[in-house]
Chains A and B, each alone.
Chain A
Amino acid sequence: MNKIYAIARWEYLEKVKKKSFIASLLLTPLFLLGSFLIPAYFSDKEGDKQKVFVIIDETEIVKPILNSKLSEKYKLESKMPFYKILELDEFGNNFPVQKSIAINKVLNEEIDGYIFIPRNALSSHKVKIEFGSKNIFILQDQERLKNEVEEILFTFQLEKKGYNYAEVTKLKPNIDLNAIKITSEEDSNNQGPLQVFFSGYLLNIMLLILVFTTGQMMVRSLVEEKSNKLVEVLLSSCSSKELLSGKIIGLSLLGLSIIIFWIILFLLASIVSTQSIVSFETVNLFLSSLFLISGYFLYSSFFIAIGSLTSSEQDAQQITGYLSFIFVVPLLLLVPVMQTPNALFVKILSFIPLFTPSIMIMRINFQTPSYLEILMSLLVLIISGYYMTIIAGKIFRIGILLTGKRPTFKQVYTWLKNKE
Chain B
Amino acid sequence: MIVAQNLVKTFEGITAVNNLSFNVKRGEIFGLLGPNGAGKSTTIRMLLSILLPDSGKITYDEISFNDAIRNKVGYLPEERGVYQKNNLIDVLNYFASLKGMNISESNKVALKLLGRFDLITYAKKQIRELSKGNQQKVQFIISILHNPDYIILDEPFSGLDPINQILLKEIINELKEQGKVIIFSTHQMEAAEKLCDSISIINNGKVVVQGELSKIKKDFGDKTIRLEFDGESSNLEKNENIIKLNLFENYLECELKNNISTKQFLNSIPDTISIKKFEFVEPSLEKIFMTSVAKSEVQANE
Interface residues of A (CB under 8 A from B): 2-3, 6-7, 10, 14, 18, 224, 227-230, 232-239, 401
Contact = CB atoms under 8 A, between A and B. Distances in A.
Contacts of B81: 224, 227-230
A415 to B, nearest CB: 12
A232 B84 CA distance: 17
Contacts of A7: 98
B94 A6 contact: yes
Interface stretch (B26-34, B44-52, B159-167): B44-52
Interface in B93-120: 94-95, 97-100
In the complex, the 4 A-B pairs of residues with the closest C-beta atoms, listed nearest first: A228-B81, A237-B98, A229-B79, A236-B75
Given A236-B75, A237-B99, A228 B80 contact: yes
21 contacts: A6-B94, A6-B97, A14-B83, A18-B85, A227-B81, A229-B77, A232-B45, A232-B48, A232-B77, A233-B139, A236-B50, A236-B70, A236-B75, A236-B152, A237-B71, A237-B95, A237-B98, A237-B99, A238-B70, A401-B45, A401-B51
Name the interface size band of chain B. 20 to 34
B45 A3 contact: no
Contacts of B130: none
Given A227-B79, A228-B81, A232-B45, 10 more contacts: A6-B97, A10-B94, A229-B79, A230-B77, A230-B83, A233-B75, A233-B139, A236-B70, A236-B75, A238-B98
Nearest to B135: A228
Nearest to B71: A237
B78 interface: yes
Give chain B's interface secondary structure class: loop
B78 A6 contact: no
A14 B79 contact: no
Nearest to B76: A233
A233 B142 contact: yes
A239 B77 CA distance: 17
A20 B16 CA distance: 42
B54 to A, nearest CB: 13
A235 B48 contact: yes
Nearest to B73: A236
A3 B96 CA distance: 10
Contacts of A234: 98
Contact of A3 (B48, B73, B86, B98): B98
B274 to A, nearest CB: 59
Contacts of B67: 239
Contacts of A238: 70, 98
A232 B82 contact: no
A236 B148 CA distance: 12
Contacts of B45: 232, 401
A227 B71 CA distance: 24
A313 to B, nearest CB: 13
A227 B95 CA distance: 18
Contacts of B50: 232, 235-236, 401
B79 A228 contact: yes
A237 B139 CA distance: 14
A224 B127 CA distance: 14
Interface in B140-173: 142-143, 152
Nearest to B143: A233
A236 B48 CA distance: 6
A203 B101 CA distance: 42
B67 to A, nearest CB: 8
A3 B68 CA distance: 12
Contact of B86 (A6, A14, A401): A14
Contacts of A10: 94
Nearest to A3: B98
Nearest to A227: B81
A217 to B, nearest CB: 12
Contacts of B86: 14
Nearest to A19: B85
Contacts of A224: 81, 83-84
A230 B143 CA distance: 12
Contacts of B77: 229-230, 232-233
B125 to A, nearest CB: 15
Contacts of B142: 233
B45 to A, nearest CB: 7
A240 to B, nearest CB: 9
Interface in B35-90: 45, 48, 50-51, 67, 70-71, 73, 75, 77-86
A222 to B, nearest CB: 12
Contacts of A229: 77-81
Pick from B50, B70, B77, B152 the residue with the most CB of A within 10 Å: B50
A237 B148 CA distance: 11
Pick from A230, A237, A238 the residue with the most CB of B within 10 Å: A237
A294 B79 CA distance: 38
A217 B77 CA distance: 24
Pick from A18, A236, A238 the residue with the most CB of B within 10 Å: A236
B83 A232 contact: no
A401 B45 CA distance: 10
B136 to A, nearest CB: 12
A406 B221 CA distance: 48
A14 B93 CA distance: 13
